[in-house]
Each structure stands twice: as C-alpha cells, then as structure tokens.
Amino acid sequence: MKNKVYIAGRLRTVEQREYLEKVDELCKKLGFDTFLPHRKIGLADSIKDADRIFRGDIINGFKGCNLMIAVLDGMHVGAGTAWELGYANAKAIPAIGLKTDESIEDALDYLSVILVASMKFVDSLEKLEKELKKFKK
C-alpha cells in the first residue's frame, strides 16, 4: 500500500494553490499518493458549499492518509489548515510544516507554540524532499 499525503494550506489566491500543487508534484515524484483539497473537491463559492467541502476534505480526504504536509507561509495559518492539523494530530497522523518565508523562531508569536510543538518543520522544498524520503523508509 502506498503512503498517502494530505496537503494543506491557504487556497485563496492562484499563487497559493500553485505552490500547493508544487508540493503535490514533489510527493508524486517520490511515489506518494496525495490528497490536494482544491483539486479533488474544489473551492467554496458560498455557504451552500460548506457541507460538500467538509465531507470531501475531511471525511473522505483523510481516508488512508498517513502523513500531512501543511504549507504555513504568511502572517497567519489559515483556519482550515489549523483545523486540519488538529484533526491529523487527533488521528495520530504525523505532519510536516513547510515554512519558507521566515524562521520558525521569528514566526512563533503568531504561528502558535501548539502548532510548532506538534510537527517537524522544513524551510524549503529540497528539505521537504529529504523528509519525505526518510518517511518512506
């Protein structure tokens, strides 16, 4: 059975989604199956989409996942990403945080010590690749 990675991060801009897709490409290159919410389920256009998004992303998206990658660039962790990280932690799914725009120490005030303590962090796609290779072993 292949390892399956849930990829989380902010989805509001094209650039944010494109970066998540780079993470997805890296994972696939290394032989992982992936779940990328905006690609598999789509985006929410209105409150009417809430149930579809929740069921697709959480109920179905996490099925079979045994690793999570969370892109945490920016001044704030998205509410959905924070929720997904908590859910993964409750399900004993390890997470890797990818923060490329500043050090974890500099981001500690707004990143949350709870998030920092709950996962391994890397600061580049190259370092993420190394962690993913370790995970496969």
DSSP 76: S
The domain limits of the chain are 4-136
pLDDT band of 1, cuts 50, 70, 90: low
Cβ(24)–Cβ(51) below 8 Å = no
CATH of the domain spanning 4-136: 3.40.50.450
Give pLDDT tens digits for 61-83: 899 999 999 999 988 888 899 99
Cβ(25)–Cβ(40) below 8 Å = no
Instruction: Round the average pLDDT of the chain to a whole number and report it.
Output: 91
Give pLDDT tens digits for 3-46: 999 999 998 889 999 999 999 999 999 999 999 988 887 778 88
Give pLDDT tens digits for 116-132: 899 999 999 999 999 99
Cα-to-chain-centroid distance, residue 49 = 21
Give pLDDT tens digits for 41-50: 777 888 988 8
Q: Which of 134, 136, 101 is nearest to 120 (CA)?
A: 134
